[in-house]
């Protein structure tokens, strides 16, 4: 932004007539207002309106480039056994005419034919120079790129293999040696436990086989007791639960057996149903627990207040 130069109005300076009359140029003229004098800037000036600017300037963001550039074609790629930058390939590509036909002195298109010959010669020369210049630029750019990559790799290897700084050693946190070895992949090799695991696996498989063989033997020896028809099923039910004439029941001690008489050994299903949760709650509210506590609280309140509730 160009500087804004304050300029006072003409009335603020001594007039030429006053200087002619002998007034001193150092005469102090008092202004009519205490506000600073106006700035001599017209509306056409970009600084006519004072716009505050931040202390740190902002720069416009770079526009996002849309699309992508095509991959450059390798102009030196050829199926010929001779590379394009070789003299053999260039000589075959820019063959000289076998016979240069010079126009006669009485030809009407002498200038045009000479111009075409010069143009062809210049085209052959430009093709040779262009191919050689392109090849030289390619070799130079590839060498610079490889040198840059090698320099970056050398710098990385130097930083990776550099010794630790003293400040890092003095300010690092305390880490156990085992954790440091684990992080640096320098733990000692583990002992070979494959044989011990193999023996343990064989013992486990042998124990399982023994259990299976024992169960199979028990199944074979108890096969005569299997129930295979309805008659055997009825006999097993009567043996366990008893028959209508001699039902099985439990005595007062909880021992199951046939009923001896009509007073003891009754079945648990004889008689009324057992109490449920609702019955137990009603019983608790009626006489014990909550109801009894309410009666006691009522008596305590009557004794303390001296009244009757």
Is 100 in the same domain as 164?
yes
| Own/partner long-range contacts of 5-9 (Cβ < 8 Å, ≥24 apart) | 5/39, 5/40, 6/36, 6/37, 6/39, 6/40, 7/37, 7/39, 7/40, 8/37, 9/37, 9/38
Tokens of 235: 């006999």
Can you give the pTM of this predicted structure?
Answer: 0.35
Indicate whether 45 and 101 sit together in one domain.
no
Residues 91 and 24 in one domain: no
pLDDT number for residue 5: 47
Q: Is 291 inside any structural domain? A: no
What is the predicted pLDDT for the residue at 266?
A: 58
Report the pLDDT value the prediction gives residue 88, as an integer from 0 to 100: 93
Q: Is residue 160 in some structural domain?
A: yes
**Structurally, how many domains does the chain consist of?**
3
Distance CA 246, CA 248 (A): 7
Assigned domain for 131 exists: yes
Query: And the tokens for 15?
Result: 């007039």
Instruction: Give the residue numbers spanning the domain of 240.
Output: 235-267
Residues 6+ apart with CB under 8 A from 242: 248, 249, 258, 259
CA dist 100 and 123 (Å) reads: 16
CA dist 130 → 67, 85, 126, 260, 263 (Å): 30, 10, 6, 126, 127
Alpha helix (H) ranges present in the chain? 16-20, 87-93, 110-161, 166-171, 177-183, 194-221, 230-241, 277-286, 290-305
For residue 220, is it within any domain? Answer: no
Mean pLDDT, the chain cut into blocks of 10 residues (309 residues total) = 45 47 50 56 83 81 87 86 91 89 85 92 94 94 96 96 91 86 88 93 97 94 89 86 73 63 57 72 64 74 80
Four-CA torsion 255, 261, 262, 264, nearest 10 degrees = -30
Residue 117 domain-assigned? yes
Question: Domain boundary at 137, 169, 201, which?
Answer: 169
Q: What residue has token string 């946190």?
A: 173
Assess if residue 299 is contained within a domain.
no
Q: Is position 261 within any domain? A: yes
Residues 93 and 162 in one domain: yes
Residue 7 included in any domain:
yes
- Predicted pLDDT of residue 46: 82
Helix or strand (DSSP H, E) at 256 = strand 256-258
């Amino acid at each position: 932004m160009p500087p804004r130069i304050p300029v006072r109005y003409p009335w603020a300076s001594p007039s030429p007539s006053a200087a002619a009359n002998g007034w001193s140029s150092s005469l102090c003229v008092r202004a009519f207002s205490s506000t600073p004098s106006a700035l001599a800037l017209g509306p056409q000036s970009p600084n006519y309106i004072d716009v505050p600017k931040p202390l740190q300037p902002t720069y416009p963001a770079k526009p996002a480039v849309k699309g992508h550039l095509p991959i450059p074609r390798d102009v030196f790629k050829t199926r010929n056994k001779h590379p394009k930058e070789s003299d053999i390939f260039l000589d075959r590509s820019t063959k000289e005419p076998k016979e240069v036909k010079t126009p006669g002195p009485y030809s009407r298109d002498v200038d045009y034919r000479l111009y075409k010959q010069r143009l062809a010669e210049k085209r052959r020369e430009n093709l040779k120079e262009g191919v050689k210049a392109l090849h030289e630029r390619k070799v130079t750019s590839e060498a610079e790129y490889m040198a840059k990559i090698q320099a970056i790799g050398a710098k990385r290897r130097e930083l990776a293999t550099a010794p630790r700084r003293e400040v890092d050693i003095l300010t690092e946190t305390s880490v156990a040696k085992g954790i440091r070895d684990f992080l640096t992949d320098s733990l000692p090799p583990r002992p070979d436990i494959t044989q011990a695991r193999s023996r343990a696996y064989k013992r486990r498989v042998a124990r399982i086989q023994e259990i299976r063989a024992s169960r199979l033997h028990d199944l074979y020896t108890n096969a005569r007791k299997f129930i295979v028809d309805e008659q055997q099923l009825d006999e097993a039910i009567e043996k366990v639960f008893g028959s209508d004439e001699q039902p099985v029941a439990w005595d007062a001690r909880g021992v199951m057996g046939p009923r001896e008489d009509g007073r003891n050994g009754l079945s648990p299903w004889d008689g009324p149903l057992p109490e449920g949760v609702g019955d137990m709650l009603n019983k608790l509210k009626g006489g014990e627990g909550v109801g009894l506590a309410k009666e006691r609280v009522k008596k305590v309140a009557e004794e303390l207040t001296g009244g009757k509730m």
